[in-house]
Chains A and B, each alone.
Chain A
Amino acid sequence: MEFDINVWYDEQIKGNVIFSYKGDISSNVIDQVLNTIEHQLHVIDEKPGVSKKLYNISVEAIQNLFHHVDLTPGNTAENGGKFIIFVIRKLETGYLLSTGNFIKNNRIKVLRDRIDQINFLSTEELKELYRIILGNEEFSEKGGGGLGIIDIAKRTGNKLNYSFNPMKNDYCFFCLEAVVT
């Protein structure tokens, strides 16, 4: 059975949701999302250290989506929407950030290997990897050099959960979760 994005989204917005977005991503959307998250953290009077960490991770996560998401199936570069889901829930301790986006099946392996590698490394090893990549000249034209997801893992200190959910044609829906404590 095909993965149902709406059912998955409804699951994500159960509980203590402090922010949720489902729709296309653009530079303006990023501004709105980040402003709203910052405002919400202020409203619930979260400690500065936790707020800062969650904001930083939100910046990386949403900009990663902006740079790397594939066009929504059926769209072309001309009319192209890039659909994403972005949800932050408050847990008993900390926050859960969940993102969802379409990617083409031929990109699964690289991404899965990258996250598995990150999850396998200790915090100290992640810091070392980050320094090596930062000091290395090989950055992609999008500027990030694959540092975004390492940065998220390094800041959370927790393992990343993920799933690749089969969709029609050559696509799957990639779900990523990070717990911020």
Chain B
Amino acid sequence: MESIALKGTGKTPTVNFNAEEGLIEIKGRSIPENSIEFYKPLVDWLDKYAATPASKTTVKIQLEYFNTSSSKCILDVFKKLEAVQRSTESVLINWYYEEDDEDMLEAGEDYQSILKIPFKMIEIIDEDN
């Protein structure tokens, strides 16, 4: 399967999906007006990946900002990963949030409460402070 590598913009995140390595990474800002347009190819890719997943899938979500329009799309991404988890039982979602960003931690917990996939909440400590 071909990988997806997208460079982030002011409104859309950096994306690295690598089927061979079982790496799913979304990082940066996700605040486009039309999130469905951006996420559809990613969800389609995951749909295919779910058919023949790697033995272990590592998911890294490190978002600085995301809008409510993206929140549903990110849930769609996770739902595809939930299917992978059902068949392999080896998916871990690493949810990164910046120090003191309680809203982002809470957003991760929202997904955790809806999904049947293990989450690991990881606080990023800014060493400049």
Residues of A within 8 A of B (CB): 27, 30-31, 34-35, 48-49, 52-53, 55-56, 59-60, 63, 66-67, 127, 130-131, 134-135, 139, 142-145, 147-148, 151, 155
Choose among A49, A131, A139 the residue that contacts B101 (Cβ–Cβ < 8 A): A49
Q: B34's closest neighbor in chain A, by CB?
A: A143
When distances are taken between beta carbons in the complex, the residues of chain B under 8 Å from A144 are 68-69, 72
CB-based contact B68/A147 at 8 Å? yes
Closest to A56 in B: B65
A131, B114: Cβ atoms closer than 8 Å: yes
| Cβ-closest chain A residue relative to B36 | A143
The reply to whether the CB of B110 lies closer than 8 angstroms to some CB of chain A is yes
B110 touches A151 (CB 8 A): no
Cβ-based interface call for B86 (8 A): no
| A142 closest partner in B (C-beta) | B69
Other-chain contact of B103, A48, A53, A131, A139 (Cβ < 8 Å): A53
Report the tally of A-B residue pairs with Cβ distances under 8 A. Answer: 62
CB distance from A69 to the nearest CB of B (A): 13
B106 within 8 A of A: yes
B75 neighbours in A (Cβ, 8 Å) = 134-135
Contacts A49-B101, A134-B75, A135-B114; A30 near B33 (Cβ below 8 A): yes
Partner of B71 from A30, A48, A147 at Cβ < 8 Å: A147
Contact with A along B93-117 (1 / 0, CB 8 A): 0000010110100100010011000
Residues of A within 8 A of B65 (CB): 52, 55-56, 59
Instruction: Map CB proximity to A onto B5-26 as digits: 1 under 8 Å, 0 otherwise.
Output: 0000011000000000000000
A49 CA / B65 CA spacing, docked (Å): 12
**Contact indicator B114/A143 (Cβ below 8 Å):** no
| B42: Cβ under 8 A from any A Cβ | no
When distances are taken between beta carbons in the complex, the residues of chain B under 8 Å from A143 are 34-36, 69, 72-73
Instruction: Specify which chain B residues have a CB less than 8 angstroms from the CB of A134 in the assembled complex.
Output: 71-72, 75, 110, 114
Q: Which residue of B lies closest to A132 (CB)?
A: B114
Q: Which residues of B contact A131 (CB under 8 A)?
A: 110, 113-114
Contact B36 A127 (CB under 8 A): no
Neighbour of B33 across the interface among A27, A49, A53, A130, CB < 8 A: A27
Which residues of A have CB within 8 Å of B68? 60, 144-145, 147-148, 151
Chain A to chain B contacts (Cβ below 8 Å), 22 pairs: A27-B33, A31-B11, A35-B10, A48-B98, A49-B101, A53-B103, A56-B103, A59-B65, A66-B33, A131-B110, A134-B72, A134-B75, A134-B114, A142-B69, A143-B35, A143-B36, A144-B68, A144-B69, A145-B68, A147-B68, A147-B72, A148-B67
